[in-house]
Amino acid sequence: MFNTHSFIKDKAAIFTALSDKIWDVPEVYFEEKYAVTTMEEALLSEGFSVTKNVAGLETAILGEFGTGPTIIAFLGEYDALSQLSQVNGVTAYAPIEKEGNGHGCGHNLLGVGSFAAACALKEYIAETGAPITVRYYGCPAEETGSGKAIMTKAGVFDDVDLAISWHPNTANAVMNIATLANYAVDFKFYGKSSHAAAAPHLGRSALDAVELMNVGVNFLREHVESDVRMHYAITNSGGMSANVVQPYAEVSYLIRAPKKAQVMDVFKRVEKIAEGAALMTETTMSYEFKGAASNLIPNTVLANVMQEQLNTVTPLEYSEEEYEYAAAIYETFDEQTQAEATALFPKTLLTLLGDKKINHFPIPLLPESTMMASTDVGDVSWKVPTIQVATSCWTIGTPTHTWQVVSHGKTSIGHKGMLYAAELMANTAIHAAEHPAVIQAAKNELTERLNGETYVSLIPEERGM
């Protein structure tokens, strides 16, 4: 009988070294050239065939093994975030490079954890002759750009029967969740420069247009559904001189809602506000699409299967040094963050946590809920029954996209959580391979949830506008 735990344990040094290499060279969306090259070398060394430039994306890759009719896919990511550079394993803010990149969402672990699971399933196929094909999808730009949405639109998941992924987290739990759809756009305003004191009447301020747009959107907030989110950042204010009427300014918007149709409805209203701001200031406006993601479709069948694995796999264990590190990280959080740190834990499990600041036990399957965030895994879930698990890679309460996440990235805590996730994902895939009815039931559930609605990508035909 194939032993997933032993396989991953025997190769643990290879997987952790691979994750550390990607942590060392943090690359942001669509720039992950070192990461994808590193993953290509790893896939080839483990006996996978490799396809590069998947869906026309230079930093997307596909590894494949087997010829069976049932295709099980593992989804990996490896993009970093800007301005989150941080020394590994320290408990105070210490950037390696000022304003440099850093793996502030743990994607160095995510991509390699999924790869480790794919390797385990490959070995299972080789030993048992199971009629399965295993695929590893290296997916770029999850944070900005929605690489998986582009890949889904291109049809690269159309023949997949089951998709499995995970995410580093502060708890060990099946991700029995839906997520928000989103749409990201940059609005650009063009005006006319002039001397702000000597000839203000000759100028047409693009910065005024941006500010008026933001005011208009803020008034719109009262008139959208309560679970709609509209975020913005002024990315170009037009210059640093107050005595110049700014001829160019830019603002970036990210719109979220539970359903894709809601997102597009709100976007059209925001677009009208931008047009109004341009009209009021006698400037001109254009916008550029940056990325979009569909809402994630949960799958109860797969959630229950993965929960079985979570309940049976040997739980995580930590040393006193690891607990001390976690306690020191915990002290860097403000009181509100600390107060919310145990919000995910049912009250009956708080006694198990005790005074420890790392979650070492599995959490029972939580009721299906909507996470007020977005992921491009959502697009995959419209095409393929999809399941994800979260494992403890960070101190409890650690907010994502922070230096504290980056600090965990090469620690033994992060490594243990990654290997744990790999075992859970591989076991879920093996269970599905040995029980084909599970995959069919998951497909039936997806069909029922969609209720006749077909997948429509939010990505416009022409990505630039």
pLDDT of residue 362: 94
In SS3 terms, 379-438 reads as HHHHHCCEEEEEEECCCCCCCCCCHHHHHHCCCHHHHHHHHHHHHHHHHHHHHHHHCHHH
Q: Structure pTM?
A: 0.93
User: Tokens in use for 242?
Assistant: 């107050």
pLDDT at 459: 92
pLDDT at site 463 = 53
Q: How far is CA 348 from the centre of its chain?
A: 30
Q: Please tell me the least confidently modeled range out of 25-29, 79-83, 199-203, 352-356.
A: 352-356
Residue 239 reports pLDDT greater than 70: yes
- Cα gap 282→284, rounded to integer Å: 7
C-alpha–C-alpha distance, residues 181 and 370, integer Å? 11
Task: Say yes or no to pLDDT of 344 above 70.
Answer: no
Contact 284, 249 (CB under 8 A): no
> Residues 437-458: what's their mean pLDDT?
96
State how far the Cα of 458 lies from the Cα of 449, in Å rounded to an integer.
19
Residue 32: band (very low, low, confident or very high) from pLDDT cuts 50, 70, 90: very high
Given pLDDT bands bounded at 50, 70 and 90, which one contains residue 465? very low
* 105: pLDDT strictly greater than 80: yes
Q: pLDDT averaged over the chain?
A: 95
pLDDT value at 144 more than 90: no
Q: Can you give the pLDDT at residue 218?
A: 97
CA distance 294 to 33: 26
Please name each of the domains of the chain with its CATH number: 4-179+295-450 (3.40.630.10), 181-293 (3.30.70.360)
Q: Please determine, for residue 261, whether its predicted confidence score (pLDDT) is greater than 70.
A: yes
Dump pLDDT digits (tens) for 377-389: 999 999 999 999 9
pLDDT of residue 25: 97
pLDDT at 1: 78
Decide if pLDDT at 462 tops 80: no
Q: Which pLDDT score is estimated for 350?
A: 78
Amino acid 131: pLDDT: 96
Is the pLDDT score of 464 beyond 50? no
Whether 294 has a pLDDT exceeding 80, the answer reads yes
What is residue 102's three-state secondary structure?
A: strand
Encode pLDDT of 315-338 as tens digits. Answer: 999 999 999 999 999 999 998 888
